Structure 1
């Protein structure tokens, strides 16, 4: 298994972190993102992305085809809703024998469909369940791998200093673990935002939050609240897409995804607040109360 020429599909937060972390481990790192396409991306935004790639030492390719022609190891790091579309696009050009590592937060069924198109093209598909937020860990973020080549790839990635563990030879197991966890984690984020903001509106937060600490003393509820508000405000759209895939996971198991659907709605709502400028100019490291106050102020104009 050769992992000398890495091609990153998706040059967002995760793509940037992974390419930076892998640059010293392989021969070269290339990337493709729709943001590189001059026909759909405004010049200012496109130039900023290209400049970032150039400064990082990443080759920004002109198309998916150009990326696939260079890479023996493709990593897909896009939004959940684009998981299958990216695999289908890559399958048109991927080199036979290449490895396709799918980092995206998608349901087992979606990952199985993606695997079919990649394997039909003569390449090897490996799914990854990324088990926590990437930024604090970088390329050492814990990942669970699934697929026929999962164990061999895990050993190669370990040599790069990555924390990857093979959990199954079949596709769907790693994503099921990830998606079931997401229901809990993204659900807790949604609950905290709704609970804290409502408590703030009633002026009872100083009474309510200590009761959480009494019940769950191992959690710093103030710091956790600030982290949840900030992450959902920044990445609500991506989290909502992930929760829709979690809903698909629940449906694929034969259950009605009432909770997952509601969680996706809450994250979508927070993403809309961000797009509407509700959180503009909040400082980095803002307290949860500052986020809640902006949300409360917004209700006065409805």
Structure 2
């Protein structure tokens, strides 16, 4: 498998990390993002994104067609709700024989629809289940791959320094693993935020957290709480989108996704608080108590 030119679709946090991490292993990396489009983004946002790409040695493309034109490997790193839309836009332009690697958190059914479009264009669709938060790991984040070319691609990506493992030749298995896990992990985040903030409101957190430590002694509940609050405050909107796809996954399995939809609602709510400025001014290393106090202050207004 020859992969010399990589095209990133989505130049947000994940796209920037992957572009920077893979650039040294290939001939060139190009990127396309709606923020590059003057008709969509403000001049300030567009200029900042183009400047970042130029400084990183990434070629900013003017369109989806342009980013697909020379790419042996197209990597999609957008929000969950845009998973299928990106594939629909890329399919008419992707090169025959190219690989389309979908990093997005979407249900097996969504990934199967996407695969049909890419395969019909003569390219090869590979789904990825990204199994934990990317920033601490960079391109070494553990990923499970699925699809006819998953094994060959996993071998190639490991040569680039990535932690990629093929789990199936069919589409949907990797997504099912990822989304089933997301119900638990994103659910735990939502539960921690609701439980801790409630305990803080009643002044009983010094009694509640030790009982959690007794039941689950391997978890640092103070540190975990701070991390969960900060990540949801920063990425709640994206996490809510992922949980709606997790709900689709549950539904596709034949269950009613009551929990997944409730988790999506909690993440959406925290994201709205962040958008409203509730957490403005908190330091990067803020404690969970500082986040909870801001939420309590807002609720008591």
Q: After TM superposition, is the score higher than 0.5?
A: yes
Which residue of structure 2 lines up, in the alignment, with residue 161 of structure 1? 161
Which residue of structure 2 lines up, in the alignment, with residue 227 of structure 1? 227
Aligned counterparts of 1:300 and 1:174: Cα–Cα separation in 2: 44
How many residue pairs get aligned? The number is 301
Offset, 1:203: 0.3
Which residue of structure 1 lines up, in the alignment, with residue 298 of structure 2? 298
Aligned counterparts of 2:298 and 2:52: Cα–Cα separation in 1: 35
Which residue of structure 2 lines up, in the alignment, with residue 101 of structure 1? 101
Instruction: Show the 5 A alignment for 1:106-255.
Output: 106-255=106-255
Per-residue CA deviations over 1:235-294 (Å, capped at 9, x if unaligned) read: 000000000000000000000000000000000001100110000111011000000000
Aligned counterparts of 2:299 and 2:168: Cα–Cα separation in 1: 48
Offset, 1:21: 0.3
Tell me, what secondary structure is at the counterpart of 1:24?
Answer: helix
Per-residue CA deviations over 1:1-44 (Å, capped at 9, x if unaligned) read: 22100000000111000000001000000000000000010000
Aligned counterparts of 1:281 and 1:96: Cα–Cα separation in 2: 50
Gaps in structure 2 of 5+ consecutive residues? none
Gaps in structure 1 of 5+ consecutive residues? none
Which residue of structure 1 lines up, in the alignment, with residue 61 of structure 2? 61
Aligned counterparts of 1:17 and 1:5: Cα–Cα separation in 2: 16
Offset, 1:73: 0.5
Aligned counterparts of 2:141 and 2:293: Cα–Cα separation in 1: 33
Offset, 1:48: 0.7
Aligned counterparts of 2:49 and 2:233: Cα–Cα separation in 1: 22
Offset, 1:70: 1.7
Offset, 1:218: 0.2
Instruction: Show the 5 A alignment for 1:39-78.
Output: 39-78=39-78
Structure 1 residue runs of 4+, over 4 Å off?
Answer: none
- TM-score for the superposition, normalised by structure 1: 0.99
- TM-score for the superposition, normalised by structure 2: 1.00
Aligned counterparts of 1:291 and 1:56: Cα–Cα separation in 2: 34
Which residue of structure 2 lines up, in the alignment, with residue 276 of structure 1? 276
Aligned counterparts of 1:70 and 1:278: Cα–Cα separation in 2: 44
Aligned counterparts of 1:281 and 1:116: Cα–Cα separation in 2: 46
Per-residue CA deviations over 1:135-163 (Å, capped at 9, x if unaligned) read: 01000000000000000000000100110
Aligned counterparts of 2:149 and 2:66: Cα–Cα separation in 1: 25
